[in-house]
Structure 1
Amino acid sequence: MMAEDLQEQTAALARAAVAGDPDATVPTCPEWRLRDLVAHIEQALRWAAELVRAAAPLPIPDPRAADPGAIGGWERRLADGAEELIEAVRDAPGDARVWSVLGPVPPAFWLRRMLSDVTVHRYDAAATTGAGFEISPRLAADVIGEGMELLSAPEAEAFKPDLVELRGTGERLAVRPHAMDGWLVTRTPDGIRVARGNAGADVTVSGPVTELMLVLTGRVPPAEGGVAGDRGLLDHWLACTRF
């Protein structure tokens, strides 16, 4: 399912991107132009594929050094990048472990990581060009869940030092999507702990799951009436967790 989702989201991102001006500023990532966004996605897909094939660390590439080429080739280039990663994961030995910032992981880690990245950046492309954006609740929930797993991993603070600021003394933040179990984040002296469920918390952010995915990735603010409790606790979380 992840391979099909990656193909679908990559294709949808490409369709949104080619409908716009390559030099347009991406409103949700204002340091990027649309062409930079496309270059980043192609570069990241191919880099992840090479990580899987090499099963060894590779330098993290600079997206500013990537060139997406002419807009007429964007759809093909992005599709080829997604296929390259899918093939690398499919062809990896069953017991393979590959590099990640969290330590050795199965190759499928990178398929899920890039699916989350592409899905969120698809929204960035849509926000730039006015294209529609609609994904399944299942996919939106998995993007949130994957992000929570990354943020709560013991190794995450070494990669993103801002996460140290989220250590606490038991403060709790609940993410409560409509019609499904949510996530309960507890700030402990040793780091973030995440559990599934709809237990009470110091602050709760609620709404449709796709909207919550966009809130938690810093793409949209919480809806009016969507936050109950200590808003400062939520704002601090969002400020420290955006990548």
Structure 2
Amino acid sequence: MDTARLVEGLHEHTAGFAKAVAGVDPEARVPTCPEWPLRVLVGHIGQAHRWAADIVQAGPTPVPEPFDADPGSPGEWSNWLHEGAADLTDAVLTAAEDPVWTFFGPRPATFWLRRMLHDTTVHHADAAFATGTAFEVAPDLAADAISEWLELLSDPVTPTLKPAFSALRGTGQTLQLRPDTGLGWLITRTPDGVRWVRATDTADATLAGPIGQLLLVLTRRLPAGQVTITGDRDLADHWLEHTAA
């Protein structure tokens, strides 16, 4: 996915997020992030965009605590959120393809643009579900979000960051993610970790459905029943249980 589309997607979902939280009680609970009131979800998004921009501009900095973020009064949320997205966009466009720090070693600055886009997209869904507003994600953005998540899960550094992901190792078990359009994803659980390719093939377990719903099921924003699961249901359930971010 090219940089221009990543920028467009980040601003699209930041705007959608801001619209979803407008005029809502800051202390309203977020069902899909049950420990967070809405003000913390808002704070996390604006804080994360600024944190990523700081990394691109100056190098690594400690991961911020969402409860420490101050998004200001609810009437200021929209501007604050848009400013954070603009800060990140400007930092990445200035850095171009220069390598920057990431948890996985030096990567192009666009790594953080892509990471924040997909984090914002999923949290846009959180905000929409919490406030009863509509949520949509374009198929190309949903597909890239799934690919990016699998890239992170398959990186050998990931289990050192979150040891629970070691449970995804296996002995060759396969899962197919099959969207309603386009190629799917074939995941293989090996003794060394997760491996995946873009392919539509038979597998031990298959999750099939509209691509936006697949993304939200994979990120546990929708229950598994929102897609069609065939084959080894225990394998599918184990995957979903052990990929909680």
TM-score range, shorter chain: over 0.9
Aligned to 1:3: 7
Residue identity matched to 2:60:
P
Residue pair 2:29, 2:37 contacting (<8 A) in 1 also: yes
Q: Aligned equivalents of 1:175 and 1:32: distance in 2?
A: 30
Superposition pairs of residues 84-163 of structure 1, within 5 angstroms: 84-92=87-95, 94=97, 96-163=98-165
Amino acid of the residue matched to residue 172 of structure 2?
G
Q: CA deviation at 1:71?
A: 0.3
Displacement of 1:70 in angstroms is 0.4
The residue number in structure 2 matching 1:83 is 86
CA deviations 1:156-208 (Å, max 9, x no partner) are 11112111111110000110001211101100011100111111111100000
Name the CA distance, whole Å, in 1 between partners of 2:148 and 2:96: 23
User: Which residue does the alignment assign to 1:188?
Assistant: 190
The reply on whether 1:69 has 2:72 as its aligned counterpart is: yes
Report the residue type matching 2:133 in the other structure: A
Deviation, 1:223, is 2.9
Map Cα deviations across residues 7-62 of structure 1 (whole Å, 9 max, x no partner).
111011011011421110001111000000000000000000000001x2211111
- Contact 1:20–1:128 under 8 Å retained in 2: no
Which of 167, 176, 179 aligns to 2:178? It is 176
Tell me the CA shift for residue 114 of structure 1. Answer: 0.2
Structure 2 distance, partners of 1:131, 1:40, is: 20
TM-score, structure 2 as length reference: 0.96
Q: 1:57, 1:135 → 2: CA distance? A: 30
User: 1:16, 1:126 within 8 Å by CA — same for their partners in 2?
Assistant: yes
Q: 1:207 to 1:19 in 2, by over 3 A?
A: farther
1:41 paired with 2:33, answer no
Distance 1:134 1:163 in 2: 29
Structure 2, gaps ≥5 residues long: none
Quick one: distance in 2 between partners of 1:36 and 1:218? 19
Deviation at 1:93, TM superposition (A): 5.2
The question of whether the paired residues in 1 share the 8 Å contact of 2:213 and 2:227 is answered with no
Q: Spell out the pairing of 1:11-50 with structure 2 (5 A cutoff).
A: 11-50=15-54
Structural RMSD (CA)? 1.1
The SS at the match of 1:69 is coil
Change (3 A) 1:30 1:97: same
Q: What letter matches 1:155 in structure 2?
A: V
- Bigger mean CA deviation after superposition, 81-90 or 160-169: 160-169
TM superposition outliers: structure 1 runs of 4+ over 6 Å: none
1:203–1:230 contact (8 Å) kept in structure 2: yes
Identity %: 52
